[in-house]
Amino acid sequence: MKTIGNPLAGKGRDEPAFLACNRAVGNGKMKEVFICHRRSARWHLESGDFAADTGGWSAVASDMSLYPVIEPAVHRRAVFWLIAATAAWGLSFPVQKMLTLVQQELVPAAGTWFLTSWIICLRSLMAAVVLLCWKPGLLRGMTREECRQGLLLGMIGGLGLMLQADGLAYTEASTSAFITQAYCVTLPVWHCLSRRQAPTWQLIASTVMVLWGISILSGFDWRTLHIGRGELETLAAAGAFTFQIILLERPRYQKNRPMPVTLLMFVGFAAWSAPVAVSNAPQLADLWQVLAAPSVLGLLTVLALACTVFAYGIMNLWQPKVTATEAGLIYCIEPVCAAFYALFLPGLFSLWTQVSYANEALTPVLISGGLLITLANVLLQLKFTKPPPAVTANG
């Protein structure tokens, strides 16, 4: 722990204290993030904390070297690419649902657990092969921490993908996308519990809004406390995605290379879903029968390249360049993209595959429930505090 003096004193500058602290620790040692809690002029940072007093200026920082500074230009690129990845994820909802419908036509006896887990296994293996063809040397020099993080991401994310994909068979694509956003609220709830901090009014209000939005979208019956299978599985998937994001931001993995981690994550997806698919297949021959239509291979390619290689590769590469709360806000775009795609893509897919899948409509239920969840996530990211004490020439 070290105490840092005011680097701007006597220069007639009027800058926020947290910028001065960042510059003082500086030289790639402290991340430019802070949480907007003000208690007795103390500002708590995600990487430590410092205190700004009224008589002069001082700061106390600890363990800052674990969080590298992110340059503004790099941060802007990270935001841009994460938005692009989110748009690609939104595409996965109608594509996954269309693929399940086509395969049900090919193997009518197949259950949803078989179809969804087999789809995830195949798209993950295809994604892994694409990565290895693009970068054949990914497996060379892989560290223990990279192996650990990649396999953990594969295990946790694979569980979330299977729950989400199976739930999608029992609900609308846009509904599934909005309910998935529950993880944007469970993230700060987890941080409060793990740090033993009281929740802010924003977190309490956002949680209520998300639960209200989910109850509207899922048709939750308050008399019987019943929720649909699709919505319940999607909520469970959101819980898995919460821990996936937490795992990505852990300081111990900061030095890991994104591409080897991504490759192992895809392998983990396949290893987790393959046994589920095989054990739920009506017959072993059905593993190949569900691939008999050319449209299946086309839809699988879209899932593998756009929604898996591109989206997850971008997430693993650029998410460490933003905070978890920033990532949560960016990911709020995903259900909006999914709802937009679902307005016209199902009809186009139906013409291509000759399997009926009607375009979705913007119903009052979808608009009200989706708006509540989206506004809750935006509210959670807004900062209602005043800036830290300014640093002036007179201290």
**For residue 182, what pLDDT is reported?**
79
Q: What angle do CA 295, 171, 90 make, to 5 degrees?
A: 60
Whether residue 394 lies inside any domain: the answer is no
Domain that holds residue 192: 72-381
Pair of tokens at residue 302: 């879209």
Residue 227 and residue 155 share a domain:
yes
**For residue 159, what pLDDT is reported?**
92
Residue 275 and residue 233 share a domain:
yes
DSSP label of 55 = S
Whether residue 278 lies inside any domain: the answer is yes
Residue 310 and residue 224 share a domain:
yes
Residues 6+ apart with CB under 8 A from 182: 210, 214, 235, 238, 239, 373
Instruction: State how many domains the chain has.
Output: 2
Residue 226 and residue 148 share a domain:
yes
Residue 266 and residue 187 share a domain:
yes
Residue 166 and residue 96 share a domain:
yes
Residue 164 and residue 36 share a domain:
no
**For residue 100, what pLDDT is reported?**
92
Whether residue 337 lies inside any domain: the answer is yes
Last residue of a domain, which of 26, 47, 68?
68
Whether residue 129 lies inside any domain: the answer is yes
**For residue 68, what pLDDT is reported?**
55
Last residue of a domain, which of 18, 45, 68?
68
Residue 264 and residue 140 share a domain:
yes
Residue 216 and residue 81 share a domain:
yes
Whether residue 390 lies inside any domain: the answer is no
Q: What angle do CA 288, 294, 295 make, to 5 degrees?
A: 105
Whether residue 386 lies inside any domain: the answer is no
Last residue of a domain, which of 36, 68, 100?
68
Residue 138 and residue 30 share a domain:
no
CA dihedral 152, 158, 179, 354 (to 10 degrees): 160
Residue 229 and residue 140 share a domain:
yes
The overall pTM is greater than 0.85: no
Running along the chain, 395 residues long, what does each successive block of 10 average in pLDDT?
37 38 38 33 38 39 47 86 91 93 92 93 92 86 90 91 91 86 77 81 83 81 75 90 82 86 91 93 93 92 91 84 74 84 94 93 88 82 55 45
Residue 193 and residue 84 share a domain:
yes
Q: For the segment 28-66, what is each residue's pLDDT rounded down to a tens digit?
A: 333 333 333 333 333 333 334 444 433 333 443 333 344
Whether residue 365 lies inside any domain: the answer is yes
